[in-house]
Amino acid sequence: MKAIIIHGGVRVYGKLKENPERVDELRKAVKMGYETLIEGGSALDAVEASVRYMEDSPLFNAGYGSSLNILGEVELDASIMDGRSLRAGAVGGVKGVRHAITLARAIMEETPHILLVGEGARKFASIIGMEVNEDLVYEARKQLYEAYMKGVGKKGFPSYLPSPELIRNYLADTVGAVAVDDKGRLAAATSTGGIMMKLPGRVGDSAIIGAGTYANEAGACSGTGVGEAAMKVLGAKQVVDLISEGTHPQKAVEEVLRRLWEKTKTPFGFIAIDREGNIGYAHSGVGLWYAFSKGGVIEAHVERRRVKVEE
């Protein structure tokens, strides 16, 4: 059964404000992916379509509207994976390319490599005809950046390092999608500007196959949260391994969130899907923005209930 579930990031700490506009954007993004499936597109086409929609929206931390690094620049990470072939493509720390997910897919399909970073990734994007000089800085993000830079001295943060307080107070969200098509093919995709005020050159889980994105013949998973935590435990791969052993995607994401907390004491979020179109979504933070579509039904929400973890 064809189905798709997407996320618009997890809020890991602090307060979650109502944001109907964001929920509406999620609904449109998931519709884009589901319609791709209805029109005969593959699971890969569907996850790319939904993620591209969110990369265009300034309401999400991906593409246009991404977080800024400590120099006030946008550096993007993204990855995509085809479950049946285990082919994957990823990009880390690339500048000026709005649709990092499409670049990741091109790396998967047109090169013998999986991960390209920085200038090399940008050069490859240029060679295949992608626009590589886009201004991806959204005004609201710039204001956040300027406010932070003003407070640097007062709060005593070292001006060149993202402090734990900073990570607590600023969003570390991401966008992602996982889908299954009518042929039972699974795919996963994740895209992000990464953590606000990150060091230039920092690459997070969204670019790392197995950490923020994974898919095989049995399941697919995309993660969101502070990437360093998922990189330590290869969170997305763990979720898909559990699905491969017969665990329902909902139970799988909950179990891996507990393991991730146990090992890293960091809240996180995952979405997942299996070959039958069963979906899972959960987080151990404050809220997870998600939407899904299956059997003609579309739902978009913020999940506030959190997986219980031992504090």
Q: Which residues bind ligand GLY (CB under 6 A)?
A: 77, 172, 174, 192, 194-195, 204-206, 212, 224-227
d(CA 311, CA 308): 9
Provide the minimum distance between the beta carbon of 228 and ligand GLY in the complex, in angstroms, as a whole number. Answer: 7
Provide the minimum distance between the beta carbon of 129 and ligand GLY in the complex, in angstroms, as a whole number. Answer: 27
Sequence length of the chain is 311
16 contacts 190 by C-beta, under 8 angstroms: no
Q: Which is nearer to ligand GLY, 83 or 227 (CB)?
A: 227
Q: Which is nearer to ligand GLY, 29 or 37 (CB)?
A: 29
Provide the minimum distance between the beta carbon of 187 and ligand GLY in the complex, in angstroms, as a whole number. Answer: 19
Helices 249-264 & 235-244 angle (0-180, nearest 10) = 140
d(CA 271, CA 249): 8
Per the annotation, the verdict on 174 as an active-site residue is yes
Q: Which of 36, 102, 174, 247 is catalytic?
A: 174
Provide the minimum distance between the beta carbon of 156 and ligand GLY in the complex, in angstroms, as a whole number. Answer: 24
d(CA 252, CA 289): 19
The helix or strand, by DSSP H or E, that contains position 145, with its residue range, turns out to be helix 139-155
Strand partners, 180: 3, 186
Q: Which is nearer to ligand GLY, 82 or 205 (CB)?
A: 205
23 contacts 301 by C-beta, under 8 angstroms: yes
Q: Which is nearer to ligand GLY, 192 or 238 (CB)?
A: 192
| C-alpha dist (Å) from residue 1 to 181, 215, 274, 285, 311 | 7, 17, 10, 31, 38
Catalytic residue list:
174
